Amino acid sequence: MSVSDSARLASGESSTEHVDKIARKAGRGLTWTLVGTFATKLGSFALGLALARLLSPADFGIFAAALAVTAFAMHVNDVGIIAACVQWRGNLNEMAPTAAVIAVSSSFLIYVMLWFAAPTVATVAGAPEATPVIRLLTVVIVIDGITAVRSAVLLRSFEQDRLTKANMIGWVFNAAVTLPLGLAGAGPYSIALGQVIGAVVTGVLVFRMAKVPVEFGFDKAIAKRLMTFGLPLAASLGIEAVLVNADYLVVGHVLGVVALGYYLLAFNISNWVPGIVGTAVRYVSVPSFSRLAEQNGEALAMGVRRSVPLLVAAILPIAVLMAVLAPQMIEVLYGDKWGPSAVALRFLTVLMVVRMMTSLAFDILTALAATKYTVWLNAGWAAALLPTLWIGSQLDGIRGAAIAHGVVALLVALPIAIWALGRAGVSLASTVPALMRPAVGAAVLAVVAILVSSSVSHTAIVQLLLGGGAGTVVYIAIVVPLSRFRQLKMRWVQRS
């Protein structure tokens, strides 16, 4: 029996009470991260609209090459130290100095390697001119390594409010740098420098907010424990970064930097939900599932049963509307110049849904310290994706690349994720009945949105609003139980 089990039993706290306690903390953390992430994403969305009119598709293509490299580095630079600290069983103050040394050292080393590798990577991506942009943007991994332990402490203690505030302030500085540089004609450098400045500001704030002494040391036993957990996780996250960004390199190499710019825009739109909801969920899911896993299997199973249906019900309508109304969405938001992006967006929505599900599976496996299965998950996904992406791009341009990514996600990644959870002792069978309503609702939503939008011979914005609005109303009516509407009505009456 663990120390936490003994303490819980001594206090008379039941498993259900403990789940509810963790749920309340996670709920508070999720609320903060959702609000903060939504605010920064909304700001980034507005900034993106402005930049889409200031920059060319080629500028976006150059930045996409740099973004792919940076995203990979951000997943592996701390060799899994942040997640290892969140999941750590024991005294954090004894572990922190060793963890800080490992995170900082690995981040600096990876940055130096990328500095020298930048010309080769940029050439492979079909954008040799991206070399200096890669060297500039990857500075953020050094900042991330310096603040890794402190970020982990804030996450572990459910102080997502502090982390969210730091991220929001950092974004303000990011925008304050990016937009003027974009207006001045700095091209992709405007986005890269803005992100670096924003990361510096966020890093300084996180460093001050987390109550961790500034200490550096090295304990071999602690380092071994950290690396045993962190290295498989870092390898898996690195492969995950390849999965998310490999299409940038493949599309750029096969089709050129302009097509890559169109593809980047479509991918960014498909990343809205994972970027807002997924990021917020990840901030609280690993610490929440970790705390539940410390208790017993039933506590964790209960958490999974609650989480999966809610996540599916939330993301399905958004994905379906994006797929059905992609041309209208692109035209309204970005203008006719970016119209070719719509053909890729339709199929990238499949990837969006699968990514949300596999990310949740990833977090559950991490909480269970079953990081070896996360490696199998992402390695199997990557092995199927890379050749399929190449073939898809060759056959049908950016549309073929998007189809390839969606098909592999649905037919390869999702089954592997379910298998990995089963091997770790987490069954999803009990969640299947709760998924039926969202599935039926999504199908009806698609039909309604298509019929309504196609029957309206007006502008794209009218088709988007009417088709999307009608489909959403029908989805809610199908998915939300009648009893829930009655409960809401009773609460409204009581408050009145």
Check pLDDT > 60 for residue 406. Answer: yes
Q: Are 174 and 197 in contact (CB under 8 A)?
A: yes
Instruction: Round to whole Å and give the CA distance between 494 and 496.
Output: 5
Q: Between 92-124 and 57-76, two packed helices, what is the crossing angle to 10 degrees?
A: 150
Q: Is the predicted pLDDT of residue 281 greater than 50, yes or no?
A: yes
pLDDT of residue 490: 64
Least confident of 249-253, 327-331, 490-494: 490-494
Domain-terminating residue out of 392, 410, 427: 427
Task: Look up the domain containing 434 and give its range.
Answer: 428-496
pLDDT in the model for residue 279 = 57
pLDDT at 301 over 70: no
According to the model, what pLDDT value does residue 403 have? 95
Separation of alpha carbons 90 and 65, rounded Å: 41
Q: Are 215 and 227 in the same domain?
A: yes
Instruction: Report the mean per-residue pLDDT for the chain.
Output: 80
What's the pLDDT at 443? 94
pLDDT at 342 over 90: yes
For residues 360 and 304, what is the distance between their CA atoms, to the nearest angstrom? 9
Q: If pLDDT is split at 50, 70 and 90, which confidence band does 290 have?
A: low
163, 221: one domain: yes
CA dist 268 and 30 (Å) reads 23
**Same-domain pairing of 381 and 459:** no
The answer to whether residues 464 and 348 belong to one domain is no
Average pLDDT over residues 310-316: 84
The pLDDT assigned to 11 comes to: 46
Residue located via tokens 């969140």: 86
Residues 153 and 30 in one domain: yes
Task: Give the integer Cα–Cα distance in Å for 379 and 51.
Answer: 35
Does one domain contain both 328 and 456?
no
Query: Backbone dihedral region of 397: left (phi > 0), alpha (psi from -120 to 50 degrees) or beta?
Result: left
Domain tally, the chain: 2
In this structure, the number of other CB atoms found within 10 A of the CB of residue 491 comes to 10
Residue 56: name the closest of 335, 242, 301 by CA.
335
Q: What is the pLDDT of residues 471-489, one digit of tens each?
A: 999 999 898 876 665 665 5
135 and 183 both lie in a single domain: yes
Say how far apart CA 26 and CA 281 lie, in whole Å: 9
Residue 3 confidence (pLDDT): 38
Do 335 and 480 lie in a common domain? no
More confident residue, 159 or 151: 151
